Chain A
Amino acid sequence: MTETNLLPPKFEAWFASRGWSPRAHQLALLEHGLAGRSVLLIAPTGAGKTLAGFLPSLVDLAARPKWKPGTRRRGVHTLYISPLKALAVDIERNLETPVGGIGLDIAIETRTGDTSASRRQRQKLIPPDILLTTPEQLALLLAGRDAETFFEDLKTVVLDELHALVTSKRGDLLALGLSRLRAIAPGIRTVGLSATVAEPDELRAWLMSQAPGEPLSLSEVVTVAGGARPDIRIFEADDSIPWAGHSARYAYKGLLEEIDRRRMTLIFVNTRSQAEMVFSELWRLNDANLPIALHHGSLDVGQRRKVEAAMADGRLRAVVATSTLDLGIDWGDVDLVIHIGAPKGASRLAQRVGRANHRMDEPSTALLVPANRFEVLECQAALDANYIGAQDTPPIRDGALDVLAQHVLGRAVAGPFRADDFYAEVASAYSYRHLDRERFDRVVDLVATGGYALRAYERYAKIKLTADGTWRLTHPRFAQAYRLNVGTIIESPMLKVRLGGKARGRGPVMGGRLLGEVEEYFCEQMKVGDTFLFAGEVLRFEGMRETEVIVSRARSSDPRIPVYAGGKFPLSTFLAAGVRKMLSDPSSWGKLPAPVRDWLELQRDHSLLPRPDELLVETFPHRGRYFLVLYPFEGRLAHQTLGMLLTRRLERFGQKPLGFIATDYVIGVWCAADVGGAFARGEPTLSRLLEPDMLGDDLEAWMAESYLLKRMFKSCAMIAGLVEKNAIGSQKTGRQVTVSTDLIYDVLREHQPDHILLEAAWADASSGLLDLGRLSDMLSRINGRIVHKRLDRISPLAVPIMLEIGGERVAGEADEDVLRQAADEIIREAMA
């Protein structure tokens, strides 16, 4: 078959009428589609991915005879799933152009959390040909009693932004949904749309049904080479680059000039609070009153829609945004992307830079703005990576057990099931291919009665094995609870921030306007009089009133509580390697700004620069304390874990550690004992201190008392339905969950330490917040390659971490310190 006769004349005419011809990859996808093959399309932004994904469906639907009244309603033909509901809405708009232009009679509808109940009902009675939705909505559809008729005619599932979905618990939910769809409509094919990824074979396997014990089955793959090479620069200021911090304040004046020279600029930052800060700082300097807007997840939906509309109409000159704008939404005429702070990963950078110039054949223009010196190195490494086309995405881990528990309940809500069939179905999903039957049965037991050795809840089971060999839901109220609690995103409870008066007498004065929302945990640590930055103002904390935080305007312009809690994403392994290589290779320093170059040269003269495979450890005294600074460059999470373990071990070796701080690049520990001298005497040796065995008993002991596992356990318990995120008729805040998950955790750990949810929490912690895999790789990499430099004062490379110190204290002891300080000493002594 030649390319041209694949495409029906109507379609060809439409392409021709627009002066276009179909692109090679669009025809390749059409060919795979018409042959019924699943396929992964890897293409940069602007390559016409969406049309390519839908083209086979449009051609198939165009050839389908018209539905005749009186005959059976046809189910959905093509299902499109995206991680963002905004993306679904956006795609609906984009599809209207070809569908209308070609003159196709195809019903396209979205179904998201915002879709009205009446419209949902109508969609079930009269399914659209193409349905655009999210993983959570798919789970809800599959749990409906009519799921089988709704999906029995399904031909194609299009999965957008697949690379972003598959590495999260939402990806697990989707993988399970997909296995369910395959059971209902065995002939379906999948189409994955993805940005460039490191391991395309993982995604190809993810798209297919897998048989246990057999070689992985892979989908077809179509790869579109990158467009024009992006033009990325690192921002250069006349001022010196700060040693530490995350504000990048030094750059704002220059950035405004850049914005003024462009039509439309997107400014990306890594966190919500950073977006706030950048936005307010830019406006403070914005004498020309350039229309600059703010877009992040905590803003009111209406507010966000307004910003998006204004962008599409070209009424804005710049938007400060977080990852809410990260994915493939087409925002019109962006001609510059500014990235403030380090990008943390080359793939993330490529994705964000792709936002500029949404046409593949024109080069994107981007400006990286490092906020401190280490970020300069990281930005340069990212830039090198982009030029050589390297990519980094986290590997796909095994599917989470709490998500499986949710899916099991959803399956029972849809109707009775046989465990054998259902196990085979679940294990056919790529993410669950390693799931053994014993674990599966334990998850079913968890759903049925909580999975306890003490069989206390048999009489109250949610699902029961009946005489005909099927598992059935025991009461319809569990179906209702399932619908209210579906999903894997456990949000930190949010509190409204309201402007009020100064605290007088018993509490704050009420009654001002609403400024927005902050995470509950942020307020937990505040006391009356503390000042912080929010909505572009310095505010004074006056107190709490139910779910509201009452604030007043502060006189000082200097917030006392820093809002910036570090980057949300840790430095990628790949960029970390780039930074280490750059440090060790002076010939590459020519690309760096002069202050940074000078800084590295000073370090070489005063201390030393480690080779890429070495770990540099410096020790020096400072203001009566002894410091230990390590430079692993393994990302904040792995460093945090290492810091916790290190302080435990130093304690045991009698070095009296007082605290530590971890950044993406460095760990700093301070001790009351001369830790450098101890290493010099070999009491202990550094290699003894950093032995890989610290991931054994020390880790176990620390985890047992750590707050971290409790946090993980809480979200696992909610996702698995052990405690309810939403109870009927009320949205409870985290604190009001009837029995605190912390207490549950303590009791469960003592009485049934092998419970499946504790296993799930441990898996989450070690792959997520602890980054154990990475830490363990690092410990074996540096084994025997640790260089100790004993100095009499701070080294140049240690200056940034010394400026950030004052944060963390030694784990465990910190709480007792707080109590000791608050306690009445006299009474305590008298009691003793």
Chain B
Amino acid sequence: MTALTERQGDDDVLTAGGLVNLNGAAVRFDASGVLHWPEERLLVVADLHFEKGSSHGVRGRFVPPYDTRATLRALAEAIGRLRPERVIALGDSFHDGDAERRLAPADLEALTALVGSVDWTWVAGNHDPSPPAGLGGRPVAEIVIGPLVFRHEPRPGRSAGEVAGHLHPAAKVGRARSVRRRAFVCDGSRCLLPAFGAYTGGLNVMDAAFKGLFERSRLIAWMLSDGRVYPVRSAEFLPD
């Protein structure tokens, strides 16, 4: 593979410290699926979709009701490891308006404790326009920190410094056999986070929904697999 600098003059993919340069902010795409901004001691997580499982259960499709605790466990692990001061949940944290009432007591307790352990911000999403009361944390429509703006749904067209979720990006690569994984997608200016919830699927980054959002030549999918992150150029992407 050709060196990045020779190819397209985008030697600013990484900062000197080995972090990803996102509109001037030095961030890390963590293999767990959260975005970490060390300088701000900030952790960002998107599309938790708590109680997605039980939303099927009410209709008689009894999928295992353990997605909330699986999601919570993974998130608690990331928070414990990265030790942020603030956490931003980037919307669609709850699968629907009724989700809070369906939380199992143990899950509710764990979630409340986790929210109380840091400075927590709930960004509103289309599944959860008003975040549940009584869990703690601060509800906002969107929030600006330095060069970055955090909101749930990406604005159409280019939007420098935007960090969003909503689309559940995933990428597919390979030759004789292909591999499809959840991914951060980032062109250096904007970043979309993978969905973090245990029952959330992924939408292929080649899908029309991503059209116009990125500078294609600078687009990299940071694919998550088996505790590792693989940065993959857009030329490698396969459609579904």
- Encode A807-832 as 1/0 by CB contact (under 8 A) with B: 00000001110111111111110110
Kindly state whether residue B175 has any CB partner on chain A within 8 Å: yes
Give the contact stretch, choosing among B76-84, B153-161, B232-240.
B232-240
Kindly state whether residue A739 has any CB partner on chain B within 8 Å: yes
- Encode A120-151 as 1/0 by CB contact (under 8 A) with B: 00000000000000000000000000000000
- Shortest distance from the beta carbon of B6 to any chain A beta carbon, whole Å: 10
CB-CB under 8 A for A450 and B230, given A722-B63, A815-B179, A819-B179:
no
A747 and B60 within 8 A (CB): no
A460 and B201 within 8 A (CB): no
- Encode A748-763 as 1/0 by CB contact (under 8 A) with B: 1011100100000000
- The A contact surface, by secondary structure, is helix
> In the complex, what residues of B have CB within 8 A of residue A450's CB?
57, 62-65
CB-CB under 8 A for A723 and B225, given A740-B201, A819-B173, A831-B14:
no
Select one of A446, A462, A735, A755 contacting B60, CB under 8 A: A462
> In the complex, what residues of A have CB within 8 A of residue B239's CB?
543-544
Minimal Cβ-Cβ distance residue in A for B4: A826
> In the complex, what residues of A have CB within 8 A of residue B102's CB?
456
- Shortest distance from the beta carbon of B129 to any chain A beta carbon, whole Å: 22
> In the complex, what residues of B have CB within 8 A of residue A830's CB?
14, 18
- Encode A224-268 as 1/0 by CB contact (under 8 A) with B: 000000000000000000000000000000000000000000000
A265→B131 CA distance, assembly (Å): 71
- Shortest distance from the beta carbon of B86 to any chain A beta carbon, whole Å: 24
B223 and A819 within 8 A (CB): yes
- Shortest distance from the beta carbon of A660 to any chain B beta carbon, whole Å: 16
Known contacts A478-B60, A748-B66, then 8 further A-B pairs from the complex at CB < 8 Å, ordered by chain A residue: A452-B62, A456-B57, A524-B178, A724-B61, A739-B199, A751-B66, A822-B174, A827-B220
- Shortest distance from the beta carbon of A509 to any chain B beta carbon, whole Å: 15
CB-CB under 8 A for A824 and B65, given A815-B225, A818-B173, A819-B181:
no
A398→B58 CA distance, assembly (Å): 33
A821→B164 CA distance, assembly (Å): 28
Q: Which residues 171-216 of B have a CB within 8 angstroms of A?
A: 173-179, 181, 198-201
A425→B231 CA distance, assembly (Å): 59
A478→B64 CA distance, assembly (Å): 19
- Shortest distance from the beta carbon of A721 to any chain B beta carbon, whole Å: 8
A818→B70 CA distance, assembly (Å): 28
A818 and B60 within 8 A (CB): no
> In the complex, what residues of A have CB within 8 A of residue B145's CB?
none
A831 and B18 within 8 A (CB): yes
How many chain B residues touch A (CB < 8 A): the figure is 51
Minimal Cβ-Cβ distance residue in A for B19: A831
Kindly state whether residue A454 has any CB partner on chain B within 8 Å: yes
Kindly state whether residue A606 has any CB partner on chain B within 8 Å: no
Kindly state whether residue A418 has any CB partner on chain B within 8 Å: no
- Encode B1-15 as 1/0 by CB contact (under 8 A) with A: 101100000000110
A744→B63 CA distance, assembly (Å): 7
Select one of B14, B174, B198, B233 contacting A747, CB under 8 A: B198
CB-CB under 8 A for A824 and B4, given A450-B62, A544-B240:
yes
A452 and B65 within 8 A (CB): yes
Q: Which residues 773-832 of A have a CB within 8 angstroms of B?
A: 814-816, 818-828, 830-831
A525 and B61 within 8 A (CB): no
Kindly state whether residue A97 has any CB partner on chain B within 8 Å: no
A618→B61 CA distance, assembly (Å): 52
A462→B57 CA distance, assembly (Å): 10
